[in-house]
Amino acid sequence: MSTVLKVENLSHRYSSAWAIRDINFEISQPGVIGLLGSNGAGKSTTMNIICGVLNQTEGNVIINGINKSKDPRLAKKQLGFLPQTPPVYSDFTVQEFLTYAADLRFIETGKVKKAVAEVMDRTGITHFSSRLIRNLSGGYRQRVGIAQAIIHKPGIVVLDEPTNGLDPNQIIEARKLIREIAVDHTILLSSHVLSEINLLCRDIIMIEGGRMVFSDSMESFNNYLQPTTILVRMENPPSESELSKIPGVTKVQFITDRQCRIWFAENKPVNESIIAASIQHNWKLQEISLEKSVLDDVFKQLSRQS
């Protein structure tokens, strides 16, 4: 499968300070890739360089085999971008704005009408085609913003905080739309909301202190920290003090009368000891499972690596 986006040794300096240094990653298939980072970590600088808003100090951005530095116009044709604030004109109707966006994207004049109709249908805004954008809800303005980003069918779409400012129902609809677009587009999605990243993303790229500190699957991100707690459910549970006597157990907390969380020393799982003790003392063990890392904890741990 061909590479959609390749970032090589990307570095950028503002005055004497480096905003990002030696960023490297490669994306080769459709899906949603999360771009994470604390405020000031270099995430926005990376996005702006990829999208052609900034020219990098060093390194290369290659989109569908086209080096952005050598042929910026052709490279940008392969890319769609939705900034945090949708770049829409409130005095235009939806159809007028998308027609304008199609012209900006160099879609042939004879194909503009069809392209506008297709993208309105895909983003669910056809019934608002004649409405002024200023009269749309935040959720539908966001849909218009996404529509302008994909109207030319780019290989990669960059979405910056696409659900920011939306109400819960609008967020659900935006997630659904992003998943549908990701079937045949590569989406680079930036968000500060870790639950959003967890629900939508296949892979994660994380930048901290201007350097890349993580690049792998969402599953690997979830499991980055070694689990140190297990959840246990028993029909006839013992006291906290009795459970604490099991070798390796460091802390016990009952969540309900029959379920508890047990902390254990790092690299010393206590599953087998708990199972053996349950059989011996008739605790009637019903469930035992390792708890996954909390996303906030993983984010904090990776942030410290910068």
**Cα→Cα distances 264→225, 238, 270, 276, 294, Å:** 14, 17, 7, 16, 16
Contact indicator for 177, 171 with CB cutoff of 8 Å:
no
Confidence of residue 180 (pLDDT cuts 50, 70, 90): very high
Task: Indicate the range of 10-19, 71-80, 149-158, 260-269 predicted with least confidence.
Answer: 260-269
Contact indicator for 225, 293 with CB cutoff of 8 Å:
yes
Radius of gyration of the chain (CA): 24
230 Cβ contact list (under 8 Å, min separation 6): 261, 262, 264, 269, 270, 271, 274, 288, 289, 290, 291
* pLDDT tens sequence across 26-61: 998 889 999 998 888 899 999 999 999 899 999 999
Q: In whole angstroms, give the CA distance from residue 82 to residue 99.
A: 17
CA 55 from chain center: how many Å? 24
Domains of the chain, by residue range, sit at 5-222, 229-290
**Cα→Cα distances 286→22, 237, 245, Å:** 50, 10, 20
Mean pLDDT for the stretch of residues 245-264: 92
Mean pLDDT for the stretch of residues 240-253: 92
Instruction: Inform me whether the pLDDT recorded for 306 exceeds 60.
Output: no
pLDDT score for 33: 96
Confidence of residue 293 (pLDDT cuts 50, 70, 90): low
* pLDDT tens sequence across 53-93: 899 999 999 999 999 999 999 999 999 999 988 889 999 99
pLDDT score for 283: 96
pLDDT score for 49: 95
In CATH, the architecture of 5-222 is: 3-Layer(aba) Sandwich (3.40)
For the whole model, what pTM was predicted? 0.78
More confident residue, 291 or 147: 147
* pLDDT tens sequence across 82-140: 998 888 999 999 999 999 999 999 999 999 999 999 999 999 999 999 999 999 998 99
Q: In whole angstroms, give the CA distance from residue 303 to residue 211.
A: 10
Q: In whole angstroms, give the CA distance from residue 113 to residue 119.
A: 10
* pLDDT tens sequence across 181-238: 999 899 999 987 788 888 899 999 999 999 999 999 988 887 776 677 889 999 999 9
CATH number of 229-290: 3.30.70
pLDDT score for 232: 94
Instruction: Inform me whether the pLDDT recorded for 302 exceeds 90.
Output: no
Q: In whole angstroms, give the CA distance from residue 269 to residue 144.
A: 51
pLDDT score for 226: 65
Contact indicator for 98, 116 with CB cutoff of 8 Å:
yes
Instruction: Inform me whether the pLDDT recorded for 261 exceeds 80.
Output: yes
Residue identified by tokens 């390792």 is 290
